[in-house]
Structure 1
Amino acid sequence: MSDLLNEKWPKVTVIIVNWNGERFLDRCLSALLAQTVAPHEIIVVDNASSDGSLDLVRRFPSVRLLAQDRNLGFARGNNLAIEEAAAESEWIALLNPDAFVEPRWLEALLSATRDYPAFEVFASKLVSAADPAVLDGAGDAYHVSGLVWRRGHGAPVASVSEQVREEFSPCAAAALYQRRILVEAGGFDEDYFCYLEDLDLGFRLRLAGYRCLYVSASVAHHVGSGTTSGQHSDFAVYHGHRNLVWTYVKNMPWLLFWAFLPLHLAMNLVTLTVFTWRGQGLTMLRAKRDALKGIPKMWWKRRSIQSSRIATVREIWRLMDKSIIPIRRINICDYRNKCRR
């Protein structure tokens, strides 16, 4: 891609937070370097990988490597890269190492920023890397109970509308954000470490008056749980269900908070029961215990978030999912596969 052709597009920094993702990184980075619109820069934050990730990234001289001596987590890793990104980059694209973008991925996102200037956040279409005919996600849905899932996860791609549409939040496995609003929001909440940190950020951005658009033409093939110990690991269950409580406490506007608190408590009781039956009751108890211990700090954060809220309760309510929750969605780790442990 010539410099002349790239001049018509705003500058984008693509950020990848990696932990032991060597087996995916070559394909991930090669796909990024084959884009019809080249990113201004690519940053890989390596969270103290013990595999060959560092050597692999160094084979790509145009990729900027931020190697860490300890695991910062997904939230802090992204925040660090946002701070370090080139000053001229107006946009930040987030990508998982186990997400392989199609050639027009970035061009489609940047085209959407021009065609839909009322939006500041853009979600990609995620398809299964194992079977591209199956949808991995089309933006993130937030249920009034506080449960979260990827829209359309597991559905045939052909059954999902190709129209762009407003979505509650993007999945950070492949998403584009206006850099200014990320800085304004303070980035990801580092207390989360990983899991639901992108939904929390998306919720806070929405409360601040910013909007998310799902762009079906921007496609990434996603493995899911590619660099973690698995969808049902104690690590994933713990962080997912602890952070689920914190997200509700911090972000739900007062009217919705009190109206759906009984449903939120009931949902937590049901998930505790389900995971106890699966043999992970102690993990869930620890997650809920630590969620409760963290509520004073989250409540303090809530005061700042809600005092600066721009979006109306009606606007937030309009975009929340209000459907009856299927049992398959009780397991948060079935559809929140983005943790970088």
Structure 2
Amino acid sequence: MSKPAETSPPLVSVLMVSHYTARLARRALDHLAAQEYRDFEVVLVENGVGDADWAWAEIARRSFPITVVPPDENLGFAAGANLAARHARGHWLALLHPDAFPDPDWLSSLMGAAARYPAGTAFGSVQVNAAEPGLLDGIGECWSPLGLAWRGGHGAPVDTAPGVLASGRDRGVLAPCAAAALWARADFEALGGFAERYFCDMEDVDLALRHRLRGGRCVTVAAARVRHVGGGTATRHDPFRLGMERRGALWTAVRTTPAAWFWPLLPVQVAVHAVMLGRAARHGAFRSAWQGLREGVAALPGPDGVWAERRAIQATRTAPLGALARAVTWNPLRRLRHTAKTWPVEVEAAQSRRAAVE
């Protein structure tokens, strides 16, 4: 592991998790070098075994501190991000995928939002499709208690997208996409970070739902924009991804759905899984999706199983059901068009929060 020279801790730690994505990650680092906001470091976890040489070479050529952490195995995104967070020195954790290229005012926009909103707020970015800049990659994650999750606004035209873009104002969302998000370190650590059993896919939705169960909220910052390569049609039907999606969908529903919804909706969730398995079959990925679902079910029982995690998570809930109900999406047909759900948010400046970002 390589560490930066000892200096005063930066306010923001940008966490990146790479897996044989050196070309994209270098481009992301170039965009970080052009940031207007300068009080940050980068903590980069290279999951590609033996592929960290490129990252070490970046240390001398960058104007910002970089810590490189090679775990010698592929931890996946969830555990990789947690590992990066443990090496971070900042009070704020900015998650940035190697294939997300931020505008020069990305960090300054996020930190400006951090000064405007009270403690307990997590922030997301407007993600534009890097290959087709006229289309959105997403403006926040959506989730239905029926067992579905999707990136809101994916594929919608940028100039006609509703909510955050049409108004030019920040909007409330269920969850920020982990491709480009900002979390207070205190909130991230209080939640235990990402659930590492997920490996990848839906870990950001699970984190945000646990945050909401404790009374937190999530906001997409209209001025914070990145161009994101991921999430395109070329990878949506990848067998591995579909397997992780089915497994993650089951775990998220079990872990985070309040009992008042979980039991009445259980038959519908079973039907949704059947429909999604059929969808995977149409794309030649039934075996992977079925295997992911089987792994998800197998992890439910036991003292360290997902059901035990559910009991612990639900015991922390302080948010009223009404507030949660307004944040989730109940109509499963919105998943077909990746329809976004956003709502107006009040700006509540707080002196303690403002002092923390100056």
What TM-score comes out, normalization by structure 2 length? Answer: 0.84
1:68 aligns with 2:74: no
SS of match in other structure, 1:23: helix
Look up the SS of the partner of 1:191 in the other structure. helix
Report what 1:336 is aligned to. Answer: none
* Alignment match, 1:116: 117
Match among 82, 85, 99 for residue 82 of structure 1:
85
Q: Tell me the distance in 2 between the aligned counterparts of 1:305 and 1:82.
A: 21
SS at match of 1:325: helix
* Superposed displacement of residue 39, structure 1: 3.9
Contact 2:238 2:285 in 1 (8 A): no
Q: Aligned partners of 2:67 and 2:333: how far apart in 1?
A: 43
Residue of structure 1 equivalent to 2:307: 299
Superposition pairs of residues 197-236 of structure 1, within 5 angstroms: 197-224=203-230, 230-236=235-241
- Matched with 1:38 is 38
Structure-1 separation of matches of 2:327 and 2:276: 24
Match of 2:4 in 1: none
Q: 2:268 is matched with which residue: 238, 263, 272?
A: 263
Alpha-carbon distance between aligned partners in 2 of 1:277 and 1:50, rounded to the nearest angstrom: 37
Q: Is the 8 A contact 2:137 2:231 kept in 1?
A: no
Aligned-partner SS, 1:103: coil
Question: In the TM superposition, what is the alpha-carbon distance from 1:182 to its structure 2 partner?
Answer: 0.8
Cα separation, 2, equivalents of 1:130 and 1:299? 41
Matches within 5 A, 1:245-324: 245-296=250-301, 297-324=305-332
| Counterpart Cα distance in 2 of 1:328 and 1:308 | 33
Query: Which stretches of structure 1, 4 residues or more, deviate above 6 A after TM superposition?
Result: none
**Structure 1 vs Structure 2: percent identity of aligned residues?**
38
Structure 2 gap segments, 5+ residues each: 1-7, 339-358
Q: How many residues align?
A: 318
Alpha-carbon contact 1:167-1:319 (below 8 Å) kept = yes
Deviation readout 1:48-95 (Å, 9 max, x if unpaired): 3465x5325522333211112111110111111111111xx2110000
* Mapped contact 1:25–1:57 kept (Cα < 8 A): no
2:17 maps to 17
Check 1:65–1:200 CA distance in 2 against 1; reply closer, same or farther (3 A cut). same
**Cα RMSD over matched residues?**
2.1
CA contact (8 A) 2:140 2:177 kept: yes
Q: Which amino acid aligns with 1:304?
A: A
3-state DSSP of counterpart to 1:64: strand
Structure 1 portions without partners, runs of 5+? 1-6, 331-341
- C-alpha distance in 2 between matches for 1:32 and 1:78: 18
Structure 1 CA distance, aligned partners of 2:150 and 2:231? 15
Structure 1 residue 273: Cα displacement:
1.6
Does the CA contact (< 8 Å) of 2:146 and 2:332 recur in 1? no
